[in-house]
């Protein structure tokens, strides 16, 4: 079954099973009072009111938690404290009663008011709202996990769908109570003891998970869960129901391609307050979709920065839209560090949920969209290259915005250094992912064991083959080294070899040593290794490990990690 559909099913079942919790018992007398009355004017409004209120409370928790985390690192700590409190309420029902007493009190008063008003549409809807308030304290562990992901990763369409599925499950079980009545109630009471113990056991697991996250044992877990689950739901729905046109091909002329799409939905902004198409009217705008571990984006960056500096005084506004590929690129602190280290001083939108990406119908890194002073998209360019052509587009749009002023000066040439330098000429090995979701050409033996530690050996490799050696845990997105001495081999054809890497648990540095054809790289080392092949993983980013000085031919690359914990994501070449 598709993981996204499985998450929705689990959320629905979690909501349906919430009814076995003892704390829902105060609601049931009011529910039974509606049994036998017309369904459309009594039961249905009550179920709708309950689901809406339940979802509203949960959504407020998700959005509020997400805001706290986005605010700063202290917000993340606050979110973990809230999650720890949630785990404690699962373990100790008396604590849950005390913490949620205000909501329960409001719900009880609304229930009594609705019951006093009798039957009918509005009293039943009011009763449903009260039921939602009373039901919220009974939230099970599945809802807790959904809210955890939303708090630490930000609310999204996928999160909302999971909350809706949970609310519908709760409404279904409540509807069953209305239809079946007392017989179901008696069966429920016999299972309350078992349900309570299940809640306590899961509460212990929630507390353990909070401890693991707080200690940094696996800082990427929730991010990976978010990418594998909620983003998949979100994208599948948009692919099915989106009525807008399909992404357009790269344009060749300065034709009018419609108004500039919205920039709303960013998780945050760097170097600027939030910008809108309205606030940018009168400016020529360049939108650069990028992500900081993308080698193609990095190689285009020197030109984008040069244009921003050269034409800023003439009214050009460059906006970098950072849309992540890997989970670690969703961490705002990582993005801020990358922006600082790369010397980017123009506005950057953190597009963690791909909201802006979808508004532009974009599919590429890097992608450049050129908008004129009237707020109309006039040109698109995807990928690296044709920097002279892109700069001429900027000059033409500026000339339109400033009649009588010439922008025909020399074209900027600004190749970067290290990993930011332009790619070498000729063919090269393809981008290669190490996580099992996109892996290809692996010669590791055994084949990737999904999500569990295993010891691998690498068979003899041909061109563009690669393999793991040592004890690794391979996930959908990356492989994590479980003990020192693990290696990765790759038979490549390119001038440059890059590898996206992350340090060990809690950010502990990991030392490595590379060889080319079994020897130290010498003069062929990259900017992140020395002549002896030594280097250190100190953050989650792209590392340039090889830059050949001679002719580009086939070579065997090997990297050995001298400490455990290294995370390896993907190879790219130049």
Residue 408: the pLDDT is 76
Residue 287, Ramachandran bin (φ over 0: left; ψ between -120 and 50: alpha; else beta): beta
Phi, psi at residue 114, to the nearest 5°?
-65, -40
* Interatomic CA distance for residues 292 and 6, integer angstroms: 32
102 to 96, 99, 133, 366, 567: CA distances (angstroms): 11, 8, 10, 51, 46
CB-side neighbour CA atoms (13 Å) of 255:
6
Residue 395: the pLDDT is 95
The contacts found for 481-485 with CB under 8 angstroms, 24 or more apart, are 481/510, 481/561, 481/564, 481/565, 481/566, 481/567, 481/568, 482/453, 482/564, 483/564, 484/561, 484/562, 484/563, 484/564, 485/560, 485/561, 485/562
3-state secondary structure 214-235: HCCCCCCHHHHHHHHCHHHHHH
* Interatomic CA distance for residues 78 and 423, integer angstroms: 45
Task: Quote the radius of gyration of the chain (alpha carbons, Å).
Answer: 28
CB atoms within 10 A of CB 142: 22
CATH fold for domain 268-420? Glutaredoxin (3.40.30)
Residue 415 DSSP label: -
Cβ(435)–Cβ(475) below 8 Å: yes
Cβ(322)–Cβ(349) below 8 Å: yes
Cβ(123)–Cβ(30) below 8 Å: no
468 to 251, 454, 475: CA distances (angstroms): 42, 10, 13
Residue 70: the pLDDT is 39
Residue 229: the pLDDT is 36
Residues of the chain whose pLDDT is less than 50?
1, 62-76, 79, 103-104, 107, 110-111, 114-115, 117-120, 137, 140-142, 150-155, 189, 192, 213, 216-245
Cα angle 190, 192, 194; round to 5: 100
Pairing of β 316-322 and β 348-350: parallel
What end-to-end distance do the CA atoms of the chain give, in Å? 38
* Interatomic CA distance for residues 374 and 86, integer angstroms: 51
Residue 105: the pLDDT is 55
Cβ(535)–Cβ(512) below 8 Å: yes
Instruction: Give the residue from 402, 147, 227, 240 showing the smallest Cα distance to 394.
Output: 402
Residue 119: the pLDDT is 47
Residue 90: the pLDDT is 57
Residue 27: the pLDDT is 55
Instruction: Give the residue from 466, 422, 419, 475 showing the smallest Cα distance to 445.
Output: 466
Domain borders along the chain are: 3-232, 268-420, 432-573
Helix H or strand E segment including 471: strand 466-474
* Interatomic CA distance for residues 467 and 473, integer angstroms: 13
Cβ(271)–Cβ(346) below 8 Å: yes
Residue 489, Ramachandran bin (φ over 0: left; ψ between -120 and 50: alpha; else beta): beta
Cβ(267)–Cβ(351) below 8 Å: yes
Residue 168: the pLDDT is 78
Residue 67: the pLDDT is 42
Residue 348: the pLDDT is 98
Helices (H), 136-264: 141-153, 157-180, 182-214, 221-228, 230-241
3-state secondary structure 385-396: CCHHHHHHHHHH
Instruction: Give the residue from 50, 58, 55 showing the smallest Cα distance to 175.
Output: 50
Q: Nearest 10 degrees: CA dihedral of 422, 428, 429, 430?
A: 60
Q: What is the largest CA-CA distance in the chain?
A: 88
- 377-410 residue pLDDT tens: 999 999 998 999 999 999 999 999 999 898 877 7
Phi, psi at residue 392, to the nearest 5°?
-65, -35
Residue 68: the pLDDT is 39
Q: Would the pTM of this model clear 0.75, i.e. be above it?
A: no
Percent of the chain as helix, strand, coil, to the nearest 5: 50, 20, 35
Cα angle 474, 475, 476; round to 5: 130
CATH fold for domain 432-573? Jelly Rolls (2.60.120)
């Amino acid at each position: 079954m598709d993981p996204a559909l499985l998450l929705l099913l689990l959320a629905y079942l979690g909501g349906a099973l919430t009814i076995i919790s003892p704390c829902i018992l105060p609601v049931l007398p009011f529910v039974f009072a509606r049994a036998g009355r017309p369904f459309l004017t009594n039961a249905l409004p009550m179920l709708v009111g309950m689901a809406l209120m339940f979802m509203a409370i949960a959504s407020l928790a998700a959005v509020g938690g997400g805001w706290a985390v986005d605010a700063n690192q202290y917000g993340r700590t606050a979110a973990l404290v809230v999650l720890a409190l949630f785990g404690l309420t699962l373990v100790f029902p008396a604590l849950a009663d005390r913490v949620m007493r205000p909501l329960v009190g409001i719900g009880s008063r609304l229930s009594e008011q609705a019951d006093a008003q009798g039957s009918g549409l509005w009293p039943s809807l009011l009763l449903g709202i009260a039921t939602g308030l009373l039901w919220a304290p009974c939230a099970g562990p599945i809802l807790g996990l959904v809210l955890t992901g939303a708090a630490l990763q930000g609310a999204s369409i996928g999160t909302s769908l999971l909350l809706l599925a949970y609310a519908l499950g709760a409404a279904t079980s409540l509807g069953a109570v209305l239809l079946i009545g007392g017989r179901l109630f008696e069966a429920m009471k016999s299972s309350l003891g078992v349900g309570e113990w299940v809640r306590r056991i899961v509460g212990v697991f929630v507390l353990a998970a909070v401890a693991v996250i707080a200690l940094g044992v696996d800082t990427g877990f929730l991010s990976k869960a978010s990418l594998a689950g909620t983003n998949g739901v979100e994208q599948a729905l948009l692919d099915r129901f989106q009525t807008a046109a399909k992404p357009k091909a790269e344009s060749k002329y300065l034709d009018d391609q419609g108004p500039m799409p919205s920039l709303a939905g960013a998780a945050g902004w760097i170097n600027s307050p939030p910008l809108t198409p309205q606030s940018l009217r009168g400016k020529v705008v360049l939108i650069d979709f990028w992500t900081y571990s993308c080698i193609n984006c990095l190689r285009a960056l020197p030109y984008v920065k040069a244009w921003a500096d050269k034409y800023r005084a003439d009214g050009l506004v460059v906006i970098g839209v950072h849309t992540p590929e890997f989970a670690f690129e969703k961490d705002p602190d990582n993005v801020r560090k990358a922006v600082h280290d790369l010397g980017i001083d123009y506005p950057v939108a953190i597009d963690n949920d791909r909201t802006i990406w979808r508004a532009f119908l974009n599919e590429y890194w890097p992608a450049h969209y050129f908008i004129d002073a009237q707020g109309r998209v006039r040109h698109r360019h995807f990928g690296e290259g044709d920097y002279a052509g892109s700069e001429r587009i900027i000059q033409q749009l500026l000339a339109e915005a400033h009649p009588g002023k010439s922008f025909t000066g020399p074209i900027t040439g600004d190749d970067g250094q290290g990993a930011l330098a332009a790619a070498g000429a000729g063919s090269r090995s393809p981008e290669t992912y190490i996580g099992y979701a996109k892996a290809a050409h692996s010669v590791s033996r055994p084949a990737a064991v999904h999500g569990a530690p295993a010891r691998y050996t690498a068979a003899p490799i041909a061109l563009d083959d690669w393999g793991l050696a040592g004890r690794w845990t391979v996930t959908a997105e990356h492989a994590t080294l479980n003990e020192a001495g693990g290696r990765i081999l790759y038979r490549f054809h390119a001038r440059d070899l890059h590898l996206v890497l992350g340090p060990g648990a809690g950010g502990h540095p990991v030392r490595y040593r590379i060889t080319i054809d079994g020897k130290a790289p010498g003069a062929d080392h990259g900017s992140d290794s020395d002549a002896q092949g030594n280097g250190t993983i100190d953050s989650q980013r792209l590392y340039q490990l090889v830059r050949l000085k001679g002719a580009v031919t086939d070579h065997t690359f090997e990297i050995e990690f001298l400490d455990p914990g290294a995370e390896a994501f993907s190879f790219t070449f130049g």
